[in-house]
A and B are shown apart, each in its own frame.
Chain A
Amino acid sequence: QVQLQESGPGLVKPSQTLSLTCTVSGGSISSGNYYWTWIRQPAGKGLEWIGRFYTGPSTNYDPSLYNPSLKSRVIISLDTSKNQFSLKLTSVTAADTAVYYCARDPGYSSGWHYFDYWGQGTLVTVSS
């Protein structure tokens, strides 16, 4: 059973960088054709896809893909030795306050993209 768990600071100051890590257990992050994804949800609001990082044998394209609304501030990376993937969001403002979820998208193999495993979520507040 695949499990995901977010970790990182719960409070970040404005203009600084938000850094979160998602630890994956129950399977290797580098095996299989998956997109490892970050999604966020401001309090009382809907869900926003942040971006994803692809793991698999194909080397024909950029493994990372980001929401255009955040692209200039986001980096998603993998640490296969720790079975983790990470999110960095720079120059944060109060608008970035949200619960941040990591999730898995198995869509590369089947062509059907969806989020089948999720972390429990971690609240990040941007405030001085």
Chain B
Amino acid sequence: DIQMTQSPSSLSASVGDRVTITCRASQSISSYLNWYQQRRGQAPKLLIYAASSLQSGVPSRFSGSGSGTDFTLTISSLQPEDIATYYCQQSYNTPPTFGQGTKVEIK
């Protein structure tokens, strides 16, 4: 299985801050990388697919980049409703695997 490693595991930032989460794959996965947001007690929600494509309805402050083994999710201006855990997921091969999550809190 492809291992996905996220960093940091948690972060605390102020409203309006730029936030960056990184995800590293144990082997090259081209651009087969998705990002999800999971608010407390809710199902995950797709934010970004194919490394950089914004899912319909997702605010433009979210963006994704990267290819190969290194990827980033950026929130350009953190909002209170962005408090959540964020997961990356590779879809390069089966089984699809997820990172361990990055918990984002407001400072």
Contact = CB atoms under 8 A, between A and B. Distances in A.
Q: Which of B53, B87, B89 has the most CB of A within 10 A?
A: B89
Interface stretch (B11-19, B44-52, B76-84): B44-52
Given A65-B94, A68-B95, A118 B44 contact: yes
Q: Which of A47, A49, A107, A120 has the most CB of B within 10 A?
A: A47
B71 interface: no
Contacts of B36: 115
Interface string B77-103: 000000000010101001111111100
B40 to A, nearest CB: 11
Interface residues of A, number: 19
Q: Majority SS of interface residues in chain A?
A: loop
Contact of A113 (B87, B96, B98): B96
B31 to A, nearest CB: 9
A31 to B, nearest CB: 20
A43 to B, nearest CB: 12
B102 to A, nearest CB: 11
B60 interface: no
B34 interface: yes
Contacts of A116: 46, 49, 55
Interface in A48-95: 48-49, 65, 67-69
A93 to B, nearest CB: 20
A114 B101 CA distance: 17
Contacts of A65: 94
A114 B94 CA distance: 12
Contacts of B34: 114-115
30 contacts: A46-B99, A46-B101, A47-B87, A48-B98, A49-B96, A49-B98, A67-B95, A101-B43, A101-B44, A112-B32, A112-B49, A113-B32, A113-B91, A113-B96, A114-B34, A114-B46, A114-B50, A114-B89, A115-B36, A115-B44, A115-B46, A115-B89, A116-B46, A116-B49, A116-B55, A118-B45, A119-B43, A120-B42, A120-B43, A121-B43
